[in-house]
Amino acid sequence: QVQLVESGGGLVQPGGSLRLSCVASGRIFRLEAMGWYRQAPGKERELVADITRDGLTNYADSVKGRFFISRDNAKNTVYLQMNSLDFEDTAVYYCRMHIGAVERELPKIYWGRGAQVTVSS
């Protein structure tokens, strides 16, 4: 069984920064793509950023230039550095990972439970 645990969320003022972390544990043979999604109340879950195993990244237009995704394969961890936070960034942030538990097995998608990020003055 694989578990993903996010950390680093909290309450910040507009213009502030937070760094989210997501650590995977359990049966892990190979980490593939990783990503961050967010969901605000009453809205659909949306992609924030994702990153391939080799470090190629892409971002939602709304966060380009402000958010930065990175990963540490040795630590089974994906990060999301969030800068210049604004009210529109308030949401629950979820990490997602494609993980192969054993060799030659198709990777499965795993989700974290979410981390609350609240931007308020």
As a 3-state breakdown, the chain gives helix, strand, coil percent values, each rounded to 5, of 5, 55, 40
Q: Given this model, what pLDDT does residue 18 score? A: 98
What does the block give as tokens for 4? 């993903």
Using alpha carbons only, give the angle 95, 23, 49 rounded to the nearest 5 degrees. 30
Report DSSP letters for 68-95, one per residue.
EEEEEGGGTEEEEEE-S--GGG-EEEEE
pLDDT per residue over 10-67, tens digit each? Answer: 999 999 999 999 999 999 999 999 999 999 999 999 999 999 999 999 999 999 999 9
CA distance 34 to 31: 8
